[in-house]
Amino acid sequence: MKYDIHSIMSYEIFLLGQYQIVTKGLFYVNGSYFIYCPDITETTLAIDGSKIHEWFRLHKIMGTLIFLVSEIPESSVQIDDQIKQLTSPGTGYLLTRADVGYELKLLIPKIYPDYEILDSMPITVSFLEEVSEDGFSNLRKIFQAAKFQVEINFVNSKMPHVSKPEKESIFRNIQTYRDLKNKLSPVLNKAWEEEEDTWLDKRQKIINASPKEFGPYRPVSLQKRLFRCLIDCSSGFSENIRNYLTMYDQICLVAPHSEYMNQTLVALGLSKKELLELHKLGKLQLLFPKSIDYYDQNFVLELLETKKENVHLSRTVTTMTIMEMKKRNPLLFPPLSIQEKQVLLGAIDKSVPVLTKNKRFADAIRKTISETGNMWIRLPNAMNQQDSIVLSSYGTINLMGPIFELNENRDLKLEFMTAIPAVEMAASTGSVLVPTTVHGYDTTNVSSLIADLYSGTPRADWVLHNKNFTNFTAENILAVSANLPVIELATTFDSVEIQRFRDLVLNISKHQKTHEDVSETVEAYNHFVRQYEKNKNNLSAWNIKGFVIGLIGKAMPGVPMASWLINHALKHIIKISGNAPELIKIVETIEAELQGGIPDAVLLSKMRDKVKKKM
């Protein structure tokens, strides 16, 4: 039996959008679907205060024959078990023609000829060159294995083909290999094809994988424990790169749009030739989170030909950031059925009046609950089509945004959209984040705020109004800021004192207690810098701060956001809910996913004399 995927999605929209309604399953008879809610009446209200039947009419997928009922229709059968395996977790729901078209581009192997999609029921893919019956049989197996949600036919075209340019989405997707195969050089084509094939192999696994299994999803060149920093040049500019070469083993650069390539090089104090030489020396990791055609093609080509293993394209960056987000946020892809998710959201909602009497705080919690339900439905599809920067608006922003807006009395999404992707990429690459300047605004404050919560919260009760969480600060770390020979710098800063300092900060980010004396270590590092930089006027000072250790010598690991949700929120909700067995099982399932250690802290590194207007 093939069930209507749009009706199934409408069911999920109801479960996660109206989690306060007791729901006993989805039933089917004669082409119609019925959501059984034994307690609803014509006057039952939705969360927003509207009548529940009217709310569902407006929010279900248009044209679906699905209804809310308080009695099970005669001759109907419950289909909850049958639909569990209906959708692929790696694609989410294919709602529009554009969604279907994008998935076709990914699934149809590259060796097959070009095709056009005919508007018919079922959808017909018409190949412009002859495909054999064995070829069609192979395609059907591929689509069946991928749980393709729409009925589809494959045929050979019998009509002359007239190409029609496709309309681009408002939200620009990652371009597929088929989109770009005639626009890229052979080397870039091969790299983009390999990237796409790897994604197809991993996209379902990263949703189902435990956060403990990060290793296989992080590129080999990033697996070695080095002291790295990350500079996000995709939305802003940073200081002279010489400052970072004195402190870090490697620099992760998030590449800018091709239009801003020259401005970025000027801000970093580099020529293109020098950047390529640093890349050849292994001093750089280059991240390209957007579609490959977004960047300077010649630049990407030269990087790949110089040191391919240190170049990370869009799908790789997405894979790393999703796996890192899973460690931080246990509610991102919880290993729960849709019904269990509704129980969890409903329990949180019922606990709100007990948790707080403050209406504004209660509204913020409920907004977070609503955004979480919406994220569960829409994130898999977005993850498949959008880049990791856009994905931030589905994940971390939804969890943090309402709480921060409560305290700031303003919408922080614009600031978050700039800072959160950088924090997530820094975490996924094991890097210290270097805030940048975006349109004249320094992102230090908002980056610090996000990094603190992304890294951990105090063991004491979380106090919303005390956002100055930084517990460790190493100040007055010297770094050269003159235009000294960049390659010489890159190859000189490798002394025992330099490595000792780098290990110190690495240990802090790993939540490990250190017996090193911070002052002594920093002074030894500074002595080396002074010896190298003869012109004392060129010396500048850094802050390296991380939300990890209270007082040096006293181990007090932070509790990351994920653990806070478990220890402070979900377990408290269990208590309020009267220790309901079903809810206890749900929380234990989430908690089991988080076993295996505390995630690394995200540290911030900033030149103290470079701070400008704050966000």
Short-list 31, 88, 96, CA closest to 64: 31
Stretch 409-429: mean pLDDT: 81
pLDDT above 70 (res 568): no
pLDDT tens by residue, 201-232 = 888 888 877 777 777 788 999 998 888 999 99
CB 66 within 8 A of CB 33: yes
Helix (H, G, I), strand (E, B) or coil at 126: strand
Q: How far is CA 477 from CA 347, 501, 505, in A?
A: 49, 10, 12
Length of the chain: 615
The C-alpha R_g of the chain, in whole angstroms, comes to: 26
Residue type, 409: N
pLDDT above 60 (res 462): no
Q: What is the enclosing helix (H) or strand (E) of 34?
A: strand 32-36
pLDDT band at 26 (very low <50, low <70, confident <90, very high): very high
pLDDT band at 32 (very low <50, low <70, confident <90, very high): very high
Stretch 127-144: mean pLDDT: 94
Residue 197, both tokens: 């094939």
pLDDT tens by residue, 42-56 = 999 999 899 999 999
For position 238, what pLDDT does the model report? 81
CB 307 within 8 A of CB 282: yes
For position 546, what pLDDT does the model report? 61
Q: DSSP assignment, residue 290? A: S
Beta bridge partners of 228: 250, 431
For position 614, what pLDDT does the model report? 41
- What does the alpha-carbon distance between residue 80 and residue 555 come to, in Å, rounded to a whole number? 49
Lowest mean pLDDT across 101-110, 424-433, 596-605: 596-605
pLDDT band at 71 (very low <50, low <70, confident <90, very high): very high
For position 460, what pLDDT does the model report? 40
Q: How far is CA 255 from CA 292, 324, 549, in A?
A: 11, 20, 32
Cα 274 to chain centroid, rounded? 32
For position 395, what pLDDT does the model report? 67
pLDDT above 50 (res 578): yes
Decide which of 374 and 312 is more confident. 312
Look up the pTM and report it. Answer: 0.85
Decide which of 554 and 175 is more confident. 175
**Tokens 């024959």 belong to residue:** 65
For position 613, what pLDDT does the model report? 40
pLDDT above 90 (res 199): yes
For position 552, what pLDDT does the model report? 32
pLDDT above 90 (res 106): yes
| CA atoms within a 13 Å half-sphere pointing along the CA-CB vector of 542 | 26
Residue 240, both tokens: 């002279």
Stretch 57-80: mean pLDDT: 94
For position 473, what pLDDT does the model report? 55
For position 160, what pLDDT does the model report? 59
For position 36, what pLDDT does the model report? 98
For position 595, what pLDDT does the model report? 63
pLDDT band at 472 (very low <50, low <70, confident <90, very high): low
Stretch 391-406: mean pLDDT: 68
pLDDT above 90 (res 336): no
Stretch 340-363: mean pLDDT: 83
Helix (H, G, I), strand (E, B) or coil at 16: helix
For position 79, what pLDDT does the model report? 94
237: phi then psi, degrees, rounded to nearest 5 = -125, 155
Stretch 505-524: mean pLDDT: 70
For position 553, what pLDDT does the model report? 31
Pairing of strands 32-36, 26-29: antiparallel
For position 359, what pLDDT does the model report? 82
Decide which of 39 and 372 is more confident. 39
pLDDT above 50 (res 464): no
pLDDT band at 284 (very low <50, low <70, confident <90, very high): very high
Residues above pLDDT 70, as percent of the chain:
80
For position 316, what pLDDT does the model report? 95
Average pLDDT of the residues of the chain: 81
Stretch 514-530: mean pLDDT: 75
